[in-house]
Chain A
Amino acid sequence: MAETVLQTLALRRTFGPLIAVDNLDLRVEKQQFYGFLGPNGAGKSTTIKMLTGLLRPTSGQVHILGRNLATDSVEIKRRIGVVPEGLALFERLTGAQLLNFVGRMYGLDRAKAAERSAELLEFMDLKDSADKLVADYSHGMKKKTALAAAVIHGPEILFLDEPFEGVDAIAATTLKRLLQRFIVHGGTVFLTSHVLEVVERLCTHIGIIQRGRLVASGSLEELRSGVKVAGHDQAPLTLEEIFLQVVGGAKQDAEVLSWL
């Protein structure tokens, strides 16, 4: 049986009267590429923030790598990597300084931090901009820097909030290569994304959240077998069809704007 590396138990987060995440029970196993999907405002970012310690849950528990996040957060943080929603980059450092700094924050010695920073800058095609302040980077460059910062210490799980948003095709390919390599070497990825094609191509397992509740979870095959769509008896369902069926978001022709 595969090792469970991430588990949430009745995880809940409220903001005043608004229930952002409601009794969420997630389970992710080692080497899974887990895509966490949902419409805007469904609770994806709130969930990932609670999983990474950026937000305190109202109730419920988070267990990562067999430890409780509430009581063992320092040890857990040492073993995970995160690309948060706002990227959280120190923009007045150069790309090289930033990666070196993050590496040392995770306990790497000076030589190793510098060596890995150089490798990552090369891999991410950022070496020509290594001496530029991060503030002057384009959005795609910042995304690649954030991902490099998330992996520099060799984490066991990666949490990525919308890693492909606003990234061009070349950068997206680089990110995908890195993530696939990470999985092959025993890592686990938990990502949220709006780009369903990317999720379909990369993810082995998928969870769909709507109004704070997990409404579907499993491998793509499991989801396909659990969802029936009229007119699709032959061809396998795409993730988009499954997603729209589960969250019920597709508008009928009659509902679209009358003047268009």
Chain B
Amino acid sequence: MNSLRRPTRSAELGLQALWFIFGGGFVLLTCAGFFGGTIGLIKIERTDLLDLLLWGVFLVWQLAPILFEGYSPGLSFREVARYPISFRVYFLLSSAYGMVDPAAITCTLWLFSMWLGVLVARPEWALAAAVALLLFAILNLFLNRIVIGLFERFQSTRRGRERMVFLMFVLLLLPQFLQFVTGYWTNMRVLKLPAWVLDAVLPLREFSPPGVAAKVFLLDGSPEFWALGGLLFYGCLAFLLLQRQLRAIHQGEIYAEAYTVRRELKVSKGWRVPFVDGITAAIIEKELRYVRQTSRLLLQLIYPPIIFLLIAFNGPTRKFISVSRPEGLLAGMAGFMLLSVPNMAYNAFGMDKEAFGRWLLSPSPLAKVLLAKNLTCGGIFVTLYLIVAVVLVVISHIGLVAAATVTIGFLAILVIQLGAGNLISVIWPKRIELAKMNSRMVSNAAGVASLLVVLPLTAIAGAVAFASWYWQLPWLPLLGGLACLAASLKIYSYLLHRSARYAWEHIEEITGNLGA
């Protein structure tokens, strides 16, 4: 309760409450979708597609608790096993606990909505549907506990945890990437699968847990009792596997960090960075090493420009952008990249966590530390921008004046973003847990604040572009960009020192939030 007295924490709590309201709304809407979908499929006599709804439930139930790990209840059943409880009680507790997960609750509500749909559309199927959906729910519950157990085993080492998160990110981004790579995604012909793939996949679909569960729906006297047997078989198999897994944990199974190979001691001298003093160079080196040694951060940095290039040159927008206004392509890319800046700049100490205290103990003023962090972050974004900009200028024949105008505008907004990011980093610091999938790079409040920074800047850029077009003043954007860059440097300097002062005045709050 004490922490809520701080306005920064209250804002976080308010935003979390908003998320819960959105979450509740999402569940209600999707329940209506499952209800309507079931009725619709039965009415149009396409019950062969009912398994697709069950596939949705199956995938969400099994994958969502892993993807959104931090939202799930945090009780570790490894700890519970230490208490003097019998294996039977432990098994029941562990299984029942799986039902508390938000994904499990949502999926159960979806299944219930499907059953209501069956009840409305074909009441005579309701009993078979109830049996099928109940068995399917129990199967999902057992499977989910097995998956969580395996996940936990993989997560028992830091490296395993981070690899898992990286893999999850790649899996999340892969569909978008493939969509852009295949190009013209509206043209479904591109996505048409070869016949042999369909031949291999279709039987799997029929005999999969959702497939057999959907078949049980149709037990209105028709002879497909094998499906009920199949569903029971899956349930028993999951039960036995879970029992085996939980027994090992109950008996005290532990996972240990792997043995490491001995290496020869070698300490490198560290990097020399041009134009800056030794301390700033050391901080820049540390920051870059953090980026290099954090695969998730690397992925988040390189993904936006790659996706932008794919959209620009492979999507339906290609003709419009490259032919009519090639400089619009560069401006769009600059804007796209600037949207990623908050991820790195709006929680400058989030990756340092407890080590924030090390900055306070060191003889370097905090403003210098922030400046070095900004130089690193700014350097990364400017480098990425320049690489993509050169490619665009060469391919799209963008005029040099237009390229310079966009680049100056990019720099002006980047500098403002970095300055604002410093202040937000000390007002709403957030500990980043790289081994947690749901651990965002910035706090909720910082995310909203980033929009408040970006929107006025976008409005100003838009106003300048409009004025230039309306009054036919082609030099106005370049002049406006230079004026904005000068102003942004001044504002940055003010925000930098204000942030350092604020940090010193709120050391306890910041160290508390970062876990220091």
Residues of A within 8 A of B (CB): 52-56, 74-75, 77-78, 82, 84, 86-93, 96-97, 99-102, 104-107, 109-111, 113-115, 117-118, 121-122, 127-133, 135-136
Contacts of B294 in A (CB 8 A): 92
The docked-state distance in angstroms from the alpha carbon of A113 to that of B282 is 11
Docked-complex contact A86 and B262, CB < 8 angstroms:
no
Q: A92-B289, A135-B158 are in contact. Are A122 and B265 (CB under 8 A)?
A: yes
The docked-state distance in angstroms from the alpha carbon of A139 to that of B515 is 17
Which of B266, B272, B355, B363 is close to A90, meaning CB atoms less than 8 Å apart?
B355
Docked-complex contact A74 and B365, CB < 8 angstroms:
yes
Docked-complex contact A107 and B267, CB < 8 angstroms:
no
Docked-complex contact B352 and A107, CB < 8 angstroms:
no
Determine if B353 is an interface residue (Cβ-Cβ < 8 Å): yes
Q: What residue in chain A is nearest B286 (Cβ atoms)?
A: A101
The docked-state distance in angstroms from the alpha carbon of A128 to that of B158 is 19
Q: A78-B363, A92-B293, A114-B270 are in contact. Are A86 and B279 (CB under 8 A)?
A: no
The docked-state distance in angstroms from the alpha carbon of A195 to that of B263 is 35
The docked-state distance in angstroms from the alpha carbon of A102 to that of B362 is 8
Contacts of B508 in A (CB 8 A): 55
Docked-complex contact B270 and A100, CB < 8 angstroms:
yes
Docked-complex contact A92 and B351, CB < 8 angstroms:
yes
Q: Which of B158, B270, B278, B504 has the most CB of A within 10 A?
A: B270
Contacts of B511 in A (CB 8 A): 54
Determine if B13 is an interface residue (Cβ-Cβ < 8 Å): no
Docked-complex contact A130 and B356, CB < 8 angstroms:
no
Docked-complex contact A113 and B290, CB < 8 angstroms:
no
Docked-complex contact A110 and B362, CB < 8 angstroms:
no
Q: Which of A105, A109, A110 has the most CB of B within 10 A?
A: A105
The docked-state distance in angstroms from the alpha carbon of A127 to that of B263 is 8
Docked-complex contact B362 and A99, CB < 8 angstroms:
no
Least distance between B269 CB and chain A CB atoms (Å) = 4
Contacts of B364 in A (CB 8 A): 74, 105
The docked-state distance in angstroms from the alpha carbon of A147 to that of B279 is 21
Least distance between A152 CB and chain B CB atoms (Å) = 11
Contacts of A121 in B (CB 8 A): 265, 267
Contacts of A114 in B (CB 8 A): 267-270
Docked-complex contact A86 and B363, CB < 8 angstroms:
no
Which of A88, A117, A130, A131 is close to B361, meaning CB atoms less than 8 Å apart?
A88
**Hey, what's the 0/1 contact readout for B321-356 against A, CB within 8 Å counting as 1?**
000000000000000000000000000000111111
Q: A84-B357, A86-B354, A131-B263 are in contact. Are A111 and B362 (CB under 8 A)?
A: no
- Other than the given A89-B358, A90-B290, 12 more pairs (CB < 8 A) read A53-B361, A56-B504, A77-B363, A88-B355, A88-B516, A100-B267, A104-B281, A105-B362, A110-B269, A113-B270, A114-B269, A132-B260
Which of B257, B285, B293, B361 is close to A54, meaning CB atoms less than 8 Å apart?
B361
Least distance between B25 CB and chain A CB atoms (Å) = 38
Least distance between A143 CB and chain B CB atoms (Å) = 14
Docked-complex contact B278 and A128, CB < 8 angstroms:
no
Docked-complex contact B355 and A91, CB < 8 angstroms:
yes
Contacts of A53 in B (CB 8 A): 360-361
The docked-state distance in angstroms from the alpha carbon of A93 to that of B516 is 17
Q: A74-B363, A118-B265 are in contact. Are A101 and B270 (CB under 8 A)?
A: yes
Q: What residue in chain B is nearest A106 (Cβ atoms)?
A: B363
Docked-complex contact A91 and B353, CB < 8 angstroms:
yes
Docked-complex contact B355 and A89, CB < 8 angstroms:
yes
Q: A54-B357, A74-B363, A118-B265 are in contact. Are A104 and B158 (CB under 8 A)?
A: no
The docked-state distance in angstroms from the alpha carbon of A82 to that of B359 is 12
Q: On chain B, which size bracket covers the interface? A: 35 or more
Determine if B283 is an interface residue (Cβ-Cβ < 8 Å): yes
Docked-complex contact A87 and B354, CB < 8 angstroms:
yes
Q: What are 29 A-B contacts defined by CB distance under 8 Å?
A: A53-B360, A54-B360, A54-B361, A54-B507, A84-B357, A86-B354, A86-B516, A88-B355, A88-B358, A88-B361, A89-B354, A89-B358, A91-B353, A92-B289, A92-B351, A93-B290, A96-B265, A101-B270, A102-B358, A104-B281, A104-B282, A105-B364, A106-B363, A110-B270, A110-B278, A114-B268, A115-B267, A130-B266, A133-B293
Which of B279, B289, B507 is close to A93, meaning CB atoms less than 8 Å apart?
B289
Which of A100, A105, A129 is close to B283, meaning CB atoms less than 8 Å apart?
A105
Of residues 82 through 122 on chain B, the ones whose CB sits less than 8 Å from some CB of chain A are none
Least distance between B92 CB and chain A CB atoms (Å) = 31
Contacts of B515 in A (CB 8 A): 86
Docked-complex contact A75 and B363, CB < 8 angstroms:
yes
The docked-state distance in angstroms from the alpha carbon of A92 to that of B283 is 14
The docked-state distance in angstroms from the alpha carbon of A122 to that of B133 is 63
Contacts of A96 in B (CB 8 A): 265-268
Q: A93-B286, A104-B279, A110-B272 are in contact. Are A130 and B363 (CB under 8 A)?
A: no
Contacts of A133 in B (CB 8 A): 158, 293
Q: A77-B363, A92-B351 are in contact. Are A104 and B289 (CB under 8 A)?
A: no
Docked-complex contact B257 and A136, CB < 8 angstroms:
yes
The docked-state distance in angstroms from the alpha carbon of A110 to that of B269 is 5
Which of B158, B282, B363 is close to A101, meaning CB atoms less than 8 Å apart?
B282
Q: What residue in chain B is nearest A146 (Cβ atoms)?
A: B358
Least distance between A87 CB and chain B CB atoms (Å) = 7
Q: A88-B355, A92-B294 are in contact. Are A128 and B361 (CB under 8 A)?
A: no
Q: What residue in chain B is nearest A98 (Cβ atoms)?
A: B286
Contacts of B282 in A (CB 8 A): 101, 104-105
Which of B279, B361, B365 is close to A107, meaning CB atoms less than 8 Å apart?
B279
Least distance between B58 CB and chain A CB atoms (Å) = 35
Least distance between A146 CB and chain B CB atoms (Å) = 10
Of residues 483 through 516 on chain B, the ones whose CB sits less than 8 Å from some CB of chain A are 504, 507-508, 511, 515-516
Contacts of A102 in B (CB 8 A): 358, 362
Q: Which of A77, A99, A111 has the most CB of B within 10 A?
A: A77
Of residues 241 through 286 on chain B, the ones whose CB sits less than 8 Å from some CB of chain A are 257, 260, 262-263, 265-270, 272, 278-279, 281-283, 285-286
The docked-state distance in angstroms from the alpha carbon of A253 to that of B318 is 85
Contacts of B507 in A (CB 8 A): 54-56
Q: What are the nearest 4 A-B pairs in CB distance?
A: A104-B282, A88-B357, A127-B265, A77-B363
Q: A77-B362, A88-B516, A109-B278 are in contact. Are A117 and B354 (CB under 8 A)?
A: no
The docked-state distance in angstroms from the alpha carbon of A106 to that of B268 is 17
Q: What residue in chain A is nearest B365 (Cβ atoms)?
A: A74
Docked-complex contact B362 and A106, CB < 8 angstroms:
yes
Least distance between B407 CB and chain A CB atoms (Å) = 32
Docked-complex contact B263 and A128, CB < 8 angstroms:
yes
